[in-house]
Amino acid sequence: MRGKLPVLYVTAFVDMVGLTMIVPLLPFYATAFGASATAVGVLISAFSIAQLAVAPAWGSFSDRYGRRPAILAGLLVSAFAYGIFALAASVPVLLVSRLVQGAGGGTIGVVQAYVADTSAPEQRTRSLGWLSAVTSLGAVAGPAFGSAMIALGGRTAPGLGAAALSLLVALFAWRYLGESHLERAGDAGSHPRPSSRAAITRVAFHWNDPAARLIWIYAIGIGAFYGTIQIVPLLLSERLAVSARNVGYFVMYLGGMGVVVRTLLLGPMVDRLGEARLSALGIVILAAGLAATGLAHDWPLLAAGFTLMPLGTAFLFPCVTGLLSRVVPASERGLYMGVQHTFGGVSRVVFPIAAGALMDLLGVGVPYLIAAALVLATLPLTRALAGYLRPSAGTPAPEPTIAAADITAEIPVAVSAERRTQP
């Protein structure tokens, strides 16, 4: 099983290179077409909106029919989206490209479920950390490639390059990526499979459940970081005169820090502190990094913020996802990873729009200070995390699970507007 992970890591790396080639350029393209900061926030959020729309289908599909077909389909959709981005000449077309990108990128939960399928429970956080490391490495290379390509080939070059990379990695995955072969049938037969809507409702209204706590921590943290960092070019441009030709190198630094932390520090820190305490530490560090970025008017404080943010996320997200993979039944892993990304997607919709509006109204630094406060507010939710994993000397302790019967039995009669999920 473990031999499959290197192929998946290569696939995830190249896919991330393609994505991050164009993401830092989006605010510059949009403002060149006359978009305001609020409109830029909407464009950034469009990606997550599309992920929310397709997520339940991706997660459930991968649980029933396999992770591999879902991953391949997502890569092909992404290639099409990058082609649209390359040809975009207006804000509405940029919006279409972002929606299609989100539909293709909705398979991130499927990729994480694949890693969990092929890793022993005690190794999942490390394996997920390596997945984060290779995607961070892609985030190092991608922005630099994007800035270089726009300098050498003009405005359409980054989009066309990203489309070519997606097609290439889809061919690679089709040839070399095998199925995870999770024992779905046997596990699923022990209890009814919950629907996507039932699982989402459970998380929304039962905050004391293990999975719910983990998903809410993830959602607020991911929204605060990704929802604000994608609009950071506007802060860099106003305060430090950064342009489209060099913004990629700043994003590259963030990705580089993520690679270093995940490859060199995450494993030893998990051994020393455990996933629960390391998650709490990650929350504090991420909040400090966001605050430093919001306050930065010079290079030293910006460097502090750009160093602390990837450090915090590298500790927080793999630990939370690793814990989540162990508190839900294996046959529902794809579903709940999808639900996690649904809630993360909701916050990634809300945060960029709110950040853009706050920038227009109150200044470019304010969104980062508010995001820092919200991340810090999740710290009390880490109180019970240590109880989710209690490994004994010889064998792992029984892992708490959310019974499907409980999920389906406690759904409120009236559920607010249907929430869409990311696989």
Distance CA 149, CA 101 (A): 20
- Confidence at residue 188, expressed as pLDDT on a 0 to 100 scale: 43
List helix spans (H) across 261-332: 266-295, 299-327
- Residue 107's alpha-carbon distances to 73, 169, 215, 241, in angstroms, are 9, 15, 17, 36
Least confident of 114-118, 190-194, 215-219, 319-323: 190-194
- The neighbour count for residue 387, using CB atoms within 10 Å, is 10
pLDDT of 186 reads: 41
**In the structure encoding, which two tokens stand for residue 119, read together?**
């890793």
Residue range 319-323: average pLDDT? 83
Which of 30, 45, 57 is closest to 99 using CA atoms? 45
Enumerate the H helices of 181-298 as residue ranges.
Answer: 184-188, 196-205, 210-229, 232-240, 247-260, 266-295
Which of the given ranges, 252-261, 287-296, 390-399, 408-417, has the highest pLDDT on average? 287-296
Looking at residue 130, its pLDDT comes to 77
In the prediction, which pLDDT does 418 show? 31
pLDDT tens string 228-250: 887 888 888 888 877 777 777 77
Lowest-confidence range among 51-65, 180-194, 368-382?
Answer: 180-194
Domains of the chain: 4-409 (1.20.1250.20)
- Of 91, 100, 79, nearest to 42 by C-alpha is 91
Tell me what the pLDDT averaged over the chain comes to.
Answer: 77
Gap between the Cα atoms of 80 and 83, Å rounded:
5
pLDDT single digits (tens) 21-52: 887 888 888 888 888 888 887 887 788 788 77
- Closest residue by Cα to residue 286 from 169, 368, 211: 368
Residue 190 clears pLDDT 60, i.e. is over it? no
Rounded Cα gap, residues 135 and 267, in angstroms? 17
User: Is a pLDDT exceeding 70 seen at residue 182?
Assistant: no
- pTM of model > 0.75: no
Q: Which amino acid is at 164?
A: A
Per-residue b/e over 28-46, b at no fewer than 16 CB within 10 Å? Answer: bbbbeeebebbbbbbbbbb
